Structure 1
Amino acid sequence: MLRHHFVLYLRSIKRYKVSFFINIIGLSTALTCSILIYLWVSDELYTDKFHKNSDHIFHLMELAEFPQATKVGRTTSGNIAPLMLAEMPEIHMATQVVKYPQDATLSIENQTIKGDGHYVSKDFFKIFSFPIIKGDKNDIWADTNTILVSETIATTLFGSVENAIGQSIDFQKEKQYTVSGVFEDVPKQSSERFDFVLSYEEKTLSQTNLLDWGSQSTYVYLSMKPDTDIVAFNEKIHDFIRNKTNKGQSYRTPFLKKYTDEYLYGSYENGIQAGGRITYVRLFSIIALFILIIACINFMNMSTAKASRRLKEIGIKKVIGANRKTLIFQYMIEAIGIAFMALLLAIVFVILLLPEFNQITGKQLSITISSGFVFSLLGITIFTGLLSGSYPALYLSGFKPALILKGKLNSSVGEVWTRKGLVIIQYTVSIILIVSVLIVHQQIEFIQNKNLGYTKEQIIHFNREGKTLDDNHMDTFLAELKNIPGVLDASSTRNAMTGDGWGVGGFDWEGKDPNDYTQFQNMIAYYGLIEMLDIKVVQGRSFSKDFSEENTKVILNESAIKRMQLKNPVGKFIGFRNKKREIIGVIKDFHFESLHEDIKPMIINLWPERLTKFMVKIKIGEEQETLTLLKDFYEKNNPGFLFDYMFLDENYQQLYIAEQRVSKLSRYFAILAIIISCLGLFGLVSFTAERRKKEIGIRKVLGDSSAHISFLLSKEFVKLVLVAIAIGLPISYMLIDNWLSGFAYKTGANLWYFLTAGMLVLIVTICTVSTQTIIAANRNPVDALRDE
């Protein structure tokens, strides 16, 4: 039986080559998109789930309720973890983590390498599954003056993992640590990225404020016992920590968030969970499904359109005893067969396209043959075959043999409208994708060109480390930087202007409400930074060496003054930790975070010992020469440290890397959706013209023009696309408006882009249809009427 169906299937392919080609190209393209998206989605969903007890690892976070908004804090006091572990039996283990604020320099003799690192407490490697490949997990923190490094760091500095143990590493040329362990390189599926870890206990000896109740610098992770009711436990820790803290911290509400949920569900709006990367996972999953549906609709339309060519085959089979189930089985086998052929072609496409796809997504995806991958691939393919073959199988098998053999079978109104409905669905999906691509592109352009309130172009920043940390030589170092050819200006800061500041509360000012716990973005700057960045001072002045005790004075932004409701703020004082600081100036609001966020109240301090970065403005057109001179100067004056810089505008672009990737991928998928839709329409028009060839021949004999005949054939399909436009544009508006709501500053849904999408689809449709209708209209009518 199967052999018989296979032979018939091969004959069908040979007989209907155009139909087969359109189906195989459409389905293979759709499956290629689906497989690529599947690989990306799988990688996203698996992030952080490789940890052995990932279901029981939680992050202690805080809900901070302020008058203007409710914020979610990911860090808390380092003092909380040991207290909770000692007094709350539901907790199995706890660990504290402080992230090193910048790339650190690790070196031995004349060899140097940069790396990211954490300070962690002793149970870190017991909670998280980062395997230690050399060293005793239970003894690695016997001495707090130790360091654990990644396999890459160990082999780079010492030649092998074995040679690293017991060796000394210079850390920032300030202190030596002994290597007590080597861990496997952090896997790509981890949201945590680090190359070395140091002792948290050793960090608290030098920075005791980490254990203050008011500190907000430590990440706390808990390994909970399996039977713990997390909802009830959240209530319990709420009361527990409230009893431990003073009244000034009463606005902070602690809660546990599952560690594996943070990567995908990490966004909050006014204290409420509001998506995150899961939004893009869902978006691309829907896109994959839409593209598959478009390709399947092509198959359905092509199969039902050519039904007239298979009527006698169906009629004879029914006469000699074939029942409807047998025919359904045959056509479903044909559909699944084409789907598997398309799968083979899709795998070839995926292998060819994967490097480019990885570059766009920033991933390291690969095809790994595993049972899960194979079953998923088979599932997608069989689903595609069943979906595309279901309607044609039911449609073709339902014909009555007597009517077929008498030639009295005509398409019913329902069948015609079903086919039209499928075309409308195809183009509605295509329009939604095109509008989305245009609006996302418009928003990215808006972000890139928006006036941020400061100059980000031609400015680089690099770490302040080694000898440059000497505050007594700060002014000398900056003066020498400014003398380098191509350098226009130089200053120092702690912040890279892209949201790496931190919130500080507890300020007092004249007329303040006692229940106001407003948090200020804290920016630390040096002389000349405000002027170099072209930040406008609207009242008062900036920091200046012409005045004394500038480190006791502050500058506020307009949002802070508005929040504090201060009139004539210059000369007034703001209190912090029992110290009064004079307000010497007010700056115009500028965007310190991404445009997803509103501009927050900001306080700028002059605090030289806390400065961590140099900022240098370089001349346009002399970038390469200036960077070479800066590198030579830096490494000569700071031996043992690498000159590792980044442009400020590149930092800004990194804030929107996810949106840029979505924009680029959506663009490709929208183009593919249009191509697949046009392929289907091309085939459908061909079969329509074939079915109406006698009508066309009679019209030509009676004197009708080719242009008019082409218009009559095209009109039907253009109407369908116009209906799709009418349906697709409102749906597009609702979807895109929801996406734009995630930005505090946005461009708005421009009507022109909706009209452009509609016109683009209409023009492509007319071109596709016209190529076939013109050919049909210009055929010799004798050929069409010869059989009559």
Structure 2
Amino acid sequence: MLIFLYVQDERSFDKMHDDAHLIYRLENWSQYEGNENHWAATQGFLIPEVVSRYPEIRSATRIYHNNTPETFSTDVNFYNEKDLFYADSTFFDVFTFPVLFGDLSTALDDPGNIVLTESTARKYFGRPDPIGEIIKRGATPFTVSAVIQDIPHNSHFRFDLLIPLSEFQRRFPQFVNGRGPSTFYSYVKTLNEEASKNLRAKLDADVLEIMNIRDANGEINPIEGLSVSIRTMPLTDIHLYGHAEKELGNNSQAQYIFIFSTVAVFILIIASFNYMNLATARSTKRSKEVGMRKVLGARKPQVFWQFLSESFFFTFIATLLALMAVVVLIPSFNDFTGKRIDGNLLNNGELLLSILLVYGAVSLLSGLYPSVFLSNFQPLKALKSNVLSGKGHSFSIYLRRGLVILQFGISILLIIGASTIYRQLRFIEKKDVGFNKEQVLVLKLPGRGRVNNLETIKQEFMADPSVVVAAPSSVIPGERVHIMTVRVPDLVTTDAGNESQQEDNGIRGMRIMSGDEDLAEVYGLQIVAGRDLSKEMVTDATQGFLLNEAAIREFGLQENPVGRRFEYVYGLPEPKAGQIVGVIKDFNYASVHTEVEPLMVHVMPSHAAYLNVRLSTDGVQETIKRLEAKWTELQPAAPFEYFFLDSLYDAQYKTEMSMGKTITFFTLLAIVIACMGLFGLASFITEQRTKEIGVRKVLGASISSIMVALSKEFVLLVLLANIMAAYPAYSLLNNWLSGFAYRVNISPVTFLSAAVVALLIAFITISFKTYMAARSNPVKALRHE
């Protein structure tokens, strides 16, 4: 049930919207000479273009998310707001969010309007219905036109404030509707399923025209080596399958759904096999009962239904106990997994239906064979003891052995999986990421480039004895580092037949991190060639660039990279031209899921979105209080909001960490269940062999030799289980690890350790029972039965 609730939550994302199955996000995909680019965002012109072209589209909208916090205020309160979206007036035609106050059909018509979520309305005004109230962004007033319920946790995007895109368009008209950078999230809702198919076909057919792809003669034609498409990502698939550049959040992985579902099925199978195994093993105890019932006139179907009903009864009791346990455990399970699962199970019809189906399936799976087996007993044979010792019941013996192998095979597979996942997570935790993320306090700056006295604030902070160094930055490690345009003059080539015609203009896209001359010191970056940016070199602010090793390799500049010409051209009327002054050792500014990509670091104060402050380890809380007081003095119109860099960077692996803990927990549960079955079976076997044990002791056998004789069959079965589990475990783990650019190896030691652990678990499980049997009085043993 717990795993079902986890999987149900993962699969529920974005399904709250009306006709969610007809909503698609348009995505840009291109491939040029083997280099693939897949963007979740598109250019601003795309939605108006496709809406004018295709009648299959019922409604469409664009979203713009400014990653930089902006300060909003009332007369008494002000806050930095990062979860701020700009959206077309048609936003609520595409998406369904319950309205509390106001009219959503007109809420985004006026550029001076603003829509708040309920919690945001309470934060600013102390009540949920501030319709008509004024909230300001700087000096710009906005009128609250509507209040909606808080965005549910199972939405792939979440916001607190929503402003009409027309207000953004008023300030940047060409940016919104032009063919500029891909910064808008474009969504369409189609008329029906048929319209969705037609739209996809038309987008494929018209993509060159829509994207204005022209050949050397200026005609709309394919370009050799270039493939482009406009992809339609179903809204309800984004959370599990959306892993494009510029995703709005850290999405999950579809393979985790498979992993958790598989674990759930495995646990149910192990438990069901336990019941089947023990029910058939105990048939000796009940053989006389069956014989007496048949002698007294019971027919085979009556005996069959008696034993099957027992299975249904036991499973029903187990289901009730499980329901009570789940209700109690859900709060802890939510803390454990980071979920927000509703504890009111009676409102979850899908869960109740699944419980009913699983109840029936488990009851049949565990009870069917024992019912058939016991109802087939012949009365005369059933009235004899030890009915399973004959050859006629060899199938039952082999079945029980097979079930033990399967149970422990599954348990061993889970042990191997849990240990490998743990090793990978430890590898992530301990990996040298190439920079020092500890003790770095990060301040969110309100409005990119709007803190006019940032240099003064920095110098005042650095005057504090507990501050080592401080520097602004456009982004921070752990966040998406933007791809922007640069030009490498050394890569420019011309057509041999026409020197005025460039074959390669040297333009490239690469990750850009802006800051100042102290940024490398704040992050502890290593300079492997040349030098760091320096305030003493006054030209560094306008002409100096640092490139990482990946960029040097990518651009083929390994030979004397320092001093080469380099230009930053993104969004500038004239390129920022200069030279490479130093090479940074590669560091993982993104997660270890991806290899380190080319990165450039330069000075660009206008792009500052954060202030990074490296602190000493002494009196951190006191230092923060002093910095807050200084910030309030120098920047009174913006709140002092901070976090530590290591917490944000490590949050990239939240999904993996949650999965690792959950898999470990359920692996232990599976092992416990398998051991319970093995213990019960060992109890039965030792009871079956009571006379044999007595004879062995009379003939002089030692306790240890008897324990070995009783245990060796189980050891052999566990060894076979190890062999059975090896290939599936390797295949599944190799597939999971392929999602990491930096990963541990699947070591034979892991498989050997799992085998040893399984053998120890099996031996400990059965040793108590075999030891008690081996040290029993042989006289009592020979009197057995």
Whole-angstrom CA distance in 1 between matches of 2:200 and 2:354: 38
Aligned to 1:581: 577
Which piece of structure 1 moves more, 577-586 or 628-637?
Answer: 577-586
Query: 2:688 aligned with 1:691, yes or no?
Result: yes
User: 1:522 aligned to 512, 518, 534, which one?
Assistant: 512
Q: Which digits, 9 at most, give the CA deviation of each residue in 1:380-420, with x for residues without a partner? A: 22222111112211221222223223558334332211100
Q: Distance in 2 between matches of 1:413 and 1:653?
A: 56
Aligned equivalent of 2:473 = 493
- The aligned residue for residue 597 of structure 1 is 594
Instruction: Provide the rounded CA distance (Å) in 2 between the counterparts of 1:474 and 1:156.
Output: 28
Candidates 131, 134, 138, aligned match of 2:105:
138
- Cα distance in structure 1, aligned partners of 2:201 and 2:540: 47
Tell me the CA shift for residue 112 of structure 1: 3.5
In 2, Cα distance between equivalents of 1:741 and 1:675: 30
Residue 133 (structure 2) aligned to one of 151, 162, 167 = 167
Question: Which residue number in structure 1 is paired with residue 736 of structure 2?
Answer: 739
Paired residue secondary structure (2:241): coil
Conserved 8 A contact 1:186-1:194: yes
User: What is the 5 A alignment of 1:361-760?
Assistant: 361-365=337-341, 366-370=343-347, 371-407=349-385, 409-411=387-389, 412-465=393-446, 469-471=450-452, 473-505=453-485, 507-512=487-492, 514=503, 518-545=508-535, 546-548=537-539, 550-566=541-557, 567-575=559-567, 576=569, 579=575, 581-585=577-581, 586-760=583-757
Shift of residue 580 of structure 1?
A: 5.7
Aligned to 2:152: 187
- Please state how far the C-alpha of 1:467 moved relative to its aligned partner: 11
The answer to whether the aligner puts 1:49 opposite 2:15 as a matched pair is yes
**Which of these residues, 769, 773, 778, is aligned with residue 776 of structure 1?**
773
Conserved? CA contact 1:66–1:517, under 8 Å: no
Structure 1 distance, partners of 2:80, 2:608, is 20
Name the amino acid aligned to 1:461: V
SS of aligned partner of 1:469? coil
Contact 1:97 1:118 in 2 (8 A): yes
Deviation sequence 1:665-723 (CA, Å, 0-9, x none): 11111111111111111111111111111221222223222222122111111111111
Deviation per residue, 1:104-136 (Å, 9 max, x gap): 443222223454111111111111011222112
Please tell me whether the aligned partners of residues 549 and 586 of structure 2 are also in contact (alpha carbons under 8 angstroms). Answer: yes
Three-state SS of the structure 2 residue aligned to 1:220 is: strand
User: Which of residues 310, 324, 327 in structure 2 aligns to 1:351?
Assistant: 327
Contact 1:506 1:517 in 2 (8 A): yes
CA distance 1:752–1:211, shift in 2 (3 Å) = same
| Deviation larger for 674-683 or 343-352 | 343-352
Secondary structure class of the residue paired with 1:620: coil
Residues 706-741 of structure 1: per-residue CA shift (max 9 Å, x gap)? 222122111111111111122223332222111111
Q: How many residue pairs get matched?
A: 747
Selected match of 1:226 from 188, 192, 197: 192
**Alpha-carbon distance, 1:442 to partner:** 0.8
Structure 1 residue identity aligned to 2:168: K
SS at match of 1:83: helix
**1:133-192 per-position Cα deviation (integer Å, ceiling 9, x unaligned):** 211222223320221101111123223233x11111122x35322111111111222221
User: Is the 2:448–2:606 contact (alpha carbons within 8 Å) kept by the matching residues of 1?
Assistant: no
Does structure 2 retain, via aligned residues, the 8 Å contact 1:466–1:638? no
**Residue type matched to 2:560 in 1?**
N
Partners of 2:126 and 2:641 in 1: CA distance: 24
Q: Percent identity?
A: 33
Give the match's secondary structure for 1:510: helix
- What is the identity, as a one-letter code, of the residue corresponding to 1:559? A
Q: 2: CA distance between counterparts of 1:512 and 1:682? A: 74
Residues 768 and 629 (structure 1 numbering): CA distance in 2 closer, same or farther, change over 3 Å? Answer: same
- The whole-number CA distance in structure 1 between the counterparts of 2:675 and 2:193 is 56
CA shift, 1:358, in A, is 0.2
C-alpha distance 372-527 of structure 1, shift in aligned 2 (>3 A): same
Find the aligned partners of 1:215 and 1:780 in 2 and give their Cα distance.
86
1:761 aligns with 2:765: no
DSSP-derived class of the 2:743 partner: coil
Asked whether the 8 Å contact 1:467–1:638 carries over to 2, the reply is no
Deviating runs (4+, > 6 A) in structure 1? none
Q: Deviations over 1:227-284 (max 9, x none)?
A: 4454553342245442244448965421111111111112369x9xxx9522111111
The answer to whether the Cα contact below 8 Å between 2:549 and 2:585 also exists between their aligned partners in 1 is yes
**What CA distance in whole angstroms lies between the structure 2 residues aligned with 1:549 and 1:533?**
19
Mapping 1:311-326, distance limit 5 Å: 311-326=287-302
Instruction: After TM superposition, give the deviation of residue 634 of structure 1 in Å.
Output: 1.8
**Residues 1:787 and 1:774: Cα distance change in structure 2 (over 3 Å):** closer
Question: In terms of mean alpha carbon deviation, does 367-376 or 248-257 score higher?
Answer: 248-257
Match of 2:712, as an amino acid?
K
Q: Is the 8 A contact 1:133 1:184 kept in 2?
A: yes
Counterpart of 1:94 in structure 2 is 60
1:243 aligns with 2:219: no
Length-normalised TM-score, structure 1:
0.90
TM-score (ref. length: structure 2)? 0.91
> Amino acid of the residue matched to residue 767 of structure 2?
S
Preserved CA contact (<8 Å) 1:130 1:184: yes
Q: For each residue in 1:485-506, what CA deviation from the matched residue of structure 2 results, as whole angstroms up to 9, or x when unmatched?
A: 3111100001111142222347
Q: Deviation of residue 357 (structure 1)?
A: 0.8
Following superposition of structure 1 onto structure 2, how do residues 93-112 of structure 1 map, counting pairs within 5 Å? Answer: 93-112=59-78
Deviation at 1:48, TM superposition (A): 0.6
Superposed CA deviations along residues 33-84 of structure 1, whole A, max 9, x for unmatched, are xx11111111111111010110111000011214453121001111111121
In the TM superposition, residue 517 of structure 1 has moved relative to its aligned partner by: 7.4
Look up the equivalent residue of 2:430 and give its one-letter code. Answer: N
**Which deviates the most, 386-395 or 765-774?**
386-395
| Structure 1 contact 467–637 (Cα < 8 Å) conserved | no
Q: 1:294 to 1:555 in 2, by over 3 A?
A: same
CA contact (8 A) 1:230 1:256 kept: no
Alignment of 1:288 onto 2:264: yes
Tell me if structure 2 keeps the 8 A contact 1:527–1:543.
yes
Partner of 1:137: helix, strand, or coil? coil
Code of the residue aligned with 1:214 in structure 2: it is G
Bigger drift between 753-762 and 547-556 goes to: 547-556
CA change 1:210–1:502 in 2 (3 A) is: farther
CA contact (8 A) 1:689 1:773 kept: yes
How many Å separate the matches in 1 of 2:513 and 2:770?
67
Deviations 1:426-454 (A, max 9, x none): 11111111111111111111111111121
CA distance 1:446–1:177, shift in 2 (3 Å)? same
Secondary structure at the aligned position of 2:404 is classed as helix
On the 8 A contact 1:512/1:564 being kept in 2, the answer is no
Kept in 2, the 8 Å contact 1:492–1:611? The answer is: yes
Letter aligned with residue 146 of structure 2: G
Match of 1:263, SS?
helix
Contact 1:210/1:217 (CA < 8 Å) preserved in 2?
A: no
Structure 1 contact 66–518 (Cα < 8 Å) conserved: no
Compared with structure 1, are the counterparts of its residues 83 and 497 closer, same or farther at alpha carbon in structure 2 (3 Å cutoff)? Answer: same
Where does structure 2 lack aligned partners over 5 or more consecutive residues?
215-222, 494-502
